[in-house]
Amino acid sequence: MHGSTLARLRAATWPAHQRLEKRLAVRDRFCEAAAYRAHLEQMWGFCAGLEKNLGSCGLGGALGDYASRHKLPLLERDLIALGLEPEALAWLPVCGALPDCSDVAAALGCLYVIEGSTLGGQTLAPLVQRHLGLDAERGAAFLAGYGENTLAMWRAFGSALDAWCGEAPRQATAVAAGIATFEALESWLCGPST
């Protein structure tokens, strides 16, 4: 065992995570209705591509509750609540520039970023409620994540990650995929860095 994979991922992805947070312009994205909807459309496009890739790597064997962690249903519910016609979902752009997640360790590294965004959503949900009047029932289900179960779901993910990636080669694969996922998400949401 070479230390917690979750701890290694957190440390290794911290610079990319911080860069993304700085570039996101949270006040602009989450305090104005059109910008918030545009952000959710972008997140839908990223998750649509990523969840398709994750679905083909056998992730369920390492993370038994993976099916309950899909973000697309929450994003679709939010977008429809915000006025997007259901048939228009098929026309939203889907991110194609995604990291390789064909192996379970890499898939867990990619998922670390998305599961981590669920934790981050807990701090953004009150902002959206205060400025836009949206909540988990109407327009902010994605930010609400797993609601009161968010911390328990995060811990369960960390346990699965540590169990699968206990050996150094798997840890390295997960870490590389986590960094690549942050970089792909930053590029998708904010454009290339200058």
Q: Using one digit for the tens of pLDDT, what is the confidence trace for 36-54?
A: 999 999 999 999 999 999 9
* Domains of the chain and any CATH numbers: 5-190 (1.20.910.10)
Q: Using one digit for the tens of pLDDT, what is the confidence trace for 94-124?
A: 999 999 898 999 999 999 999 999 999 999 9
- Indicate whether 155 pLDDT > 50: yes
pTM of the model: 0.94
Segment (H or E) for 190? helix 168-190
Contacts of 166 (CB under 8 A, 6+ apart): 1, 2, 5
- Indicate whether 1 pLDDT > 60: no
Q: Using one digit for the tens of pLDDT, what is the confidence trace for 119-152?
A: 999 999 999 999 999 999 999 999 999 999 999 9
Please state the length of the chain: 194
